[in-house]
Amino acid sequence: MKAKPNLAIIGTPRSASSFLAKFFVLRGWQVPNYRDSTTMSPSQFNPEGYFENTYLNLLNDQIIRSRFGLEHSFLYPPKFSAINAQILATDFFYDLDETLIDFPEDYLSNLKGYTGEEWDVWGLTRMSEGEKWHRAYSARNISSSVQIMEATSDFNNFLSKTDSVVLKDSRLTFTLDLFAQGIDKVIILQREENSLASSIRNHYGQNIFTNNRAKGFSWVSNHFNYKIGPMSFEDFSQRYEDFYLEIEKNYSVLRVNQHLLSEDSTIRTLIDFVEN
- pLDDT, position 190: 96
Beta bridge partners of 9: 168, 187
- CA dihedral 49→53→54→55, nearest 10 degrees, is 180
Domain ranges of the chain: 7-275
- pLDDT, position 243: 95
- pLDDT, position 47: 83
Q: What is the DSSP letter of 206?
A: T
**Nearest CA among 216, 200, 262, 193 for reference residue 76:** 200
Question: What's the CA gap between 193 and 203, in Å, rounded?
Answer: 15
- pLDDT, position 99: 45
- pLDDT, position 208: 74
What residues have CB less than 8 Å from 43, skipping those under 6 apart? 50
- pLDDT, position 162: 93
Q: Model confidence over 180-232: pLDDT tens digits? A: 889 999 999 999 999 999 998 887 777 677 665 555 555 554 444 445 556 78
What residues have CB less than 8 Å from 11, skipping those under 6 apart? 17, 170, 173, 188, 189, 190, 191, 240
- pLDDT, position 7: 97
Q: What's the pTM value of the predicted model, to 2 decimals?
A: 0.85
Question: What's the CA gap between 55 and 37, in Å, rounded?
Answer: 6
**Nearest CA among 116, 79, 72, 142 for reference residue 204:** 116
- pLDDT, position 97: 43
Which residues, given as ranges, of the chain have pLDDT below 70?
1, 36-37, 84-91, 93-134, 207, 210-230
- pLDDT, position 46: 79
